[in-house]
Chain A
């Protein structure tokens, strides 16, 4: 085991953390920094429950080494609400009951945020394609898609 010191930025805060070289970014977030919003579902990049944004790119934190976070800018679900004010997507998920057990929800929110930042007015098909890397075993996806559609309308000022 080899330890490595990593300096990174998470949700705007400069962070220094010591981790093992084998550890993933997800391990570092959850076990070293106590940021447990990103979840480990599959651990192989199939389910999207660990979705985070690294330097503006949506990725699975389970397929990034902690060491790779050096000098990067990372955004997690913990940075999505501004204080007590929920992000429109978070409000919309609550309103539409777009979650049941909640394990996939942080990943869906991060992926949906990435989508709406790139495409503020997606069609239903575009939403479904963009969220195909996020698995939900409770909702059947329909409520999630409606919640994203509604949030898009709110964010456009409608």
Chain B
């Protein structure tokens, strides 16, 4: 196995593009090393991206936030500005693994690992996040929803690297939240995850909303009908019922020992309702 630590994104994409055999990006390594050790993959080349300038930082600009691909999730919790603007995204990223894993794992890695149960992905989809991708043929920016194609599979082309996650600046009176169900209190994989992001008008009526679910389909899903159920409301009882019903109906879950289909569908609706209430409160709604 060759190990490379390029200093620029250009060198990194060139190395990946020119690789003969299997090549992998290494940032936090909390998925990659486990797969290597388990014998699931045998990389010919590992490209450690952590020495690339700027890739290990969270930047705030007039447009919003840029979270570099090598930023450990623990660092997201330490950014007061990010936590204030996007509490749901940060709480989802901080649910991944233990303190030890938090010190290494990245939100971009969570996305590109393409697990159906990735905690940060529904939160990013609800937040309408984008990713900046660098590649041998130049850069492109795409919506987070377009990255994961199927379990373990992404739309990234040969030589491409996700450089950063981009989160927009928040309109006034906005809030987001992420909740997951696991059978323990910590350190487990989501049986169901639900994220809600919304913006209120001056009267506290939901003006816009996005609802996303994880672990209930081959990829995280955006549920527009659930968002429509709460737009124009103050999250009254019937609106929350319609939200829950739309979420349950959108699920196409697997049936396994961790949760039956019936259970996952039911819990998706319950969690989305609870997440909506938290997001509403964070947006300043009463």
| A interface residue numbers (CB < 8 A to B) | 2, 4, 21-22, 24, 43-45, 48, 51, 54, 57-60, 62-65, 67-68, 70, 111, 114-115, 129-130, 132-134
Contact = CB atoms under 8 A, between A and B. Distances in A.
Contact of A45 (B3, B34, B36, B74): B34
A59 B2 contact: no
Interface stretch (B94-102, B209-217, B248-256): B94-102
B92 interface: no
A21 B33 CA distance: 12
A45 to B, nearest CB: 6
Interface string B31-49: 0011011100000001010
A132 B187 contact: yes
Contacts of A4: 3
Contacts of B187: 132-133
Given A2-B1, A133-B97, A133-B101, 10 more contacts: A22-B36, A44-B38, A45-B33, A45-B98, A58-B100, A64-B104, A68-B29, A68-B50, A70-B5, A132-B186
Interface in B130-179: none
Interface size class of B (residues with CB under 8 A): 20 to 34
By DSSP majority rule, is chain A's interface helix, strand, loop, or mixed?
Answer: mixed
Scoring B2, B29, B33, B34 by chain A CB atoms within 10 A of each residue's CB, the highest score goes to: B33
B34 A58 contact: no
Closest 9 CB pairs of A and B: A133-B98, A57-B103, A21-B3, A59-B103, A133-B100, A60-B100, A67-B3, A63-B33, A21-B1
B26 interface: yes
20 contacts: A2-B3, A22-B1, A44-B34, A45-B30, A48-B100, A57-B72, A57-B74, A59-B104, A60-B101, A62-B37, A64-B33, A65-B3, A65-B48, A67-B5, A68-B26, A68-B29, A68-B48, A115-B99, A129-B186, A133-B97
